[in-house]
Amino acid sequence: MKKLTMFIVSDSVGETAELVAKAAASQFREGLETVSLKRFSHIEDETQINEIVYLAKAQQAVIVYTLVKSCMRTKIKKECQNAGIKCIDLLGPIVEQLGIELGEKPLEEPGLVRKLDEDYFKKIDAIEFAVKYDDGRDPRGILKADIVLIGVSRTSKTPLSQYLAHQRYKVANVPLVPEVEPPEELFNIDPKKCFALVISPQKLNSIRKERLKALGLKDDANYARFERIEEEIAHFNDVIDKIGCTIIDVTNRAVEETANVIITELQANSK
């Protein structure tokens, strides 16, 4: 029965190399007594490689590495050969082959996979947040949000929330109607993160009529009448005067354009 010692060497965290090493070792049970894995993370200096190879030789270890810089891969391979120990390059052959296939040089920047993973999960969190706190369902989301959208019905609050969520912003949106008092949380947030969406009465009338038709209803319902729209807009103006937030006219703006205005203002305010 043999004892296998593997050194996992990476210029990032080393999770990928360790998982592959474990998966490979799991295929050998009869002749293998124990498997010992030691991870060496964030290795970006050639002197570190010398020390690792020295330890590997002393412990009769196999070195498994994922190093994105070609100079570091060359260094560790050469040192292992000089020391007479085994080493396995998990990343180099794939990167080199992809470089040939794509006709370009790799970035050779450590940690990009982790950055991509973190970015992905941040986007998922933001999307789930936008769904949870859509349409004023839970006013607690107002205090947690990066962006708060307010406006009367049919001013594109929900699609705008989802678009901004895909840009990694946590967004809560709140509809304003005269019969319902706006949540107290609206008046307790930084007005710089609150954006009021305004639209012309004529455009809103047209949108609401089309909405009623899509639902199989008559387009002369109170919801689409000018008197009702003007009442809602008057209430909307009262609320935004109290908050003191930024007003954005979405009458002739696509969702993407409105999102860009919001993001630009947020970035300007953060400076």
pLDDT tens-digit readout, 89-113: 999 999 999 999 999 999 998 888 7
Query: Is there a binding annotation on residue 34?
Result: no
- Whether pTM > 0.85 for this model: the answer is no
- Cα atoms found within 13 Å of the Cα of residue 180, Cβ hemisphere only: 10
- Say if residue 62 carries a ligand binding annotation: no
216 in a labelled binding site: no
140 is in an annotated binding site: no
152 is in an annotated binding site: yes
pLDDT tens digits, 111-146: 887 777 788 889 999 999 999 999 999 999 999 999
Higher pLDDT, 110 or 79: 79
Q: What length does the chain have?
A: 271
12 annotated to a ligand binding site? no
Using one digit for the tens of pLDDT, what is the confidence trace for 193-227? 999 999 999 999 999 999 999 999 888 889 999 99
Domains and CATH numbers, the chain: 2-110 (3.40.50), 115-270 (3.40.50)
Question: Does 5 belong to an annotated binding site?
Answer: no
Residue 74 marked ligand-binding:
no
